[in-house]
Structure 1
């Protein structure tokens, strides 16, 4: 016996609801495992996602590096690895303007060597 369009659409709707429920259940398990790992390792948002969220590119913006005046492409600058930390999750690469937390720590009597990240 041939199925009608209405029966097929009904089956599709049921399966979509079942798939959504399964996905929600799997997501809750994944989120729980991620939270457990974050708690276990004491990870901070900065360690997980970097110091600032990535900005979405403007529509039509190219992913290719910009051209230098000579016509050659420049390599994109990446963020460097953190060199200093304050123990509260704030880090600094040691390049550019000193962050306030770094200046405050120096003013409080710490040395730059005290704030170094040791591997």
Structure 2
């Protein structure tokens, strides 16, 4: 099925792209489902279980919300620290504006 995309309007082209991406997702899901069924059949044919072949799921190495060591320390208030991740704290930005270098605030 050949579609002459040169004659399509912007709206028609956008709709065509959306339909194509949707179909692509459907085909991917079908492929994964077939592969899972094939793997299950092979495992059962050998008299094994999924856990025998792949083992139980390994525990995650990192926990969500785990504390990260402080990388920067407020020179005027050593109690205030920042790990260097996420949004910069106000004291960090204020210190930079005041002329303090990042390297001077390393913990």
Do these two structures clear the TM 0.5 threshold for a shared fold by scoring above it?
no
State the TM-score, normalizing by the size of structure 1.
0.40
Q: Which has the larger radius of gyration?
A: 2
